[in-house]
Structure 1
Amino acid sequence: MSTRLPVELPKAYRLLNHGPTVLVSCAHGSARNVMAAAWSMPLDFSPPKIAVVIDRATRTRELVDASGEFALNIPSKEMVEATLAVGSVSGRDVDKFQAYGLATFAAEKIAAPLLEGCLGWLECRVIPEPPIQLRHDLFLAEVVAAWADARAFRDGHWSFEDGCPRSIHYIAGGNFFETGTAFSAKPS
């Protein structure tokens, strides 16, 4: 099992800045669900805020609307089949955690479960913006806690050393790519 390290909240945006596919987990009462989302992004540093699209027709949307919170889990290539699966079926029809063998652990500040095996976790509380939620299915949220797998993200940065797990990015039609090699540019 990997070591989870806390991520300083002003640096939590770095977990999402490169545009990975995320798994949105949520819970309300005894109900819980998880869905894949390709459209999420950081919005601010302090307090840290994110945006994510959650379609109004989903079970996840019902639970987020009811609870006012959710988690963004950042999967690696090892979770690609589960990522595609939870994005392809409805939580109204199947318990995705059980059906796809998704282990969870408790979040620190929210009720939504966090998924084992991910590279990063952001615990989020919805910032109510009914007009954009209703019109665009866009949710803004404050990140209240953030964690990362020490093998992949440490000292506020993703690690691109050989053998380090990397995030995945959805293209379309069941196709993904894994984050590639990092390089630096120098100002001219």
Structure 2
Amino acid sequence: MTRLAVDLAKATRLLNHGPTVLVSSAHAGRHNVMSAAWSMPLDFEPPKVAVVIDKATLTRELVDASGEFVLNIPPAAMAQATLRLGRESGRDQPDKLARSGIQLEPASRVQAALVQGCIGWLECRVLPTSAAVAGPHDLFLAEVLAAWADERVFRDGHWRFEEAPDELRSLHYVAGGHFYQVGHALEVDVGT
């Protein structure tokens, strides 16, 4: 797999189709990764994203302390690990990442690490005063500082899932341990 840099003007395209993400975080030598079904692109220039992170999570503690995170886009091949990362707490299971088979590598612009095996990565810095209280969860707004994608499925600013094996398609969580994979491309004539 070759990771290619994604032009920041096209970085939000990595999230446009609503994939489940893995939110990685780090502070003072501690790392964590959690699954999140609620993330979305917000703006193009500079690129901004939103993600919901529960107050009770270790990820939230690390994001609050560092002001940074990475949105990692896992492929279908990582469905089991993605589910486990969403169900286990890094506080209760200090070996959560190893038990899930997750390996990390350094990001280019933030402390939080990139999750190996993913198909897209957005390195983000939390925007000031971005926590919007919504019940027991918080919405974080962040600026994308760097973006990367697996060239087997993302090239020339577009996803190319139709050219890749099913295990490289993105995951979409619906509930109760139930995921869907992104479907097939549908071209629509924009000439009329």
TM-score by length of 2: 0.93
CA distance in 1, matches of 2:96, 2:27: 15
Does the CA contact (< 8 Å) of 2:131 and 2:138 recur in 1?
no
Q: Aligned runs of 1:30-41 on 2, under 5 Å?
A: 30-41=29-40
The corresponding residue for 2:162 is 161
User: What residue identity is the alignment partner of 1:109?
Assistant: R
CA distance in 1, matches of 2:163, 2:107: 30
TM-aligned CA deviation for residue 130 of structure 1 = 5.3
The corresponding residue for 1:109 is 109
TM-aligned CA deviation for residue 160 of structure 1 = 2.6
CA distance in 2, matches of 1:117, 1:154: 17
The corresponding residue for 2:63 is 64
3-state DSSP class of the match of 2:48? Answer: strand
CA distance in 1, matches of 2:118, 2:159: 14
3-state DSSP class of the match of 1:43? Answer: strand
Give yes or no for the alignment of 1:178 onto 2:181: yes
3-state DSSP class of the match of 1:121? Answer: strand
The corresponding residue for 1:96 is 96
TM-aligned CA deviation for residue 100 of structure 1 = 1.3
Aligned residues: 187
CA distance in 1, matches of 2:43, 2:67: 19
The farther-off stretch of 38-47 and 92-101 is: 92-101
Dislocated runs of 4+, deviation >4 Å: 133-136
TM-aligned CA deviation for residue 131 of structure 1 = 5.4
Does the CA contact (< 8 Å) of 2:162 and 2:185 recur in 1?
no
The corresponding residue for 2:3 is 4
Query: What CA deviation, in whole Å up to 9, does each residue of 1:9-51 have, x standing for no partner?
Result: 0100000000000000000011110100000000011100000
- Give the CA RMSD over aligned residues: 1.4
3-state DSSP class of the match of 2:83? Answer: helix
The corresponding residue for 2:151 is 150
Unaligned runs of 5+ in 2: none
TM-aligned CA deviation for residue 163 of structure 1 = 3.2
TM-aligned CA deviation for residue 161 of structure 1 = 2.5
Does the CA contact (< 8 Å) of 1:133 and 1:139 recur in 2?
no
3-state DSSP class of the match of 1:65? Answer: helix
TM-aligned CA deviation for residue 133 of structure 1 = 4.8
User: What residue identity is the alignment partner of 2:154?
Assistant: F
TM-score by length of 1: 0.95
TM-aligned CA deviation for residue 134 of structure 1 = 7.3
User: What residue identity is the alignment partner of 1:6?
Assistant: A
The farther-off stretch of 158-167 and 59-68 is: 158-167
The farther-off stretch of 156-165 and 79-88 is: 156-165
User: What residue identity is the alignment partner of 2:188?
Assistant: A
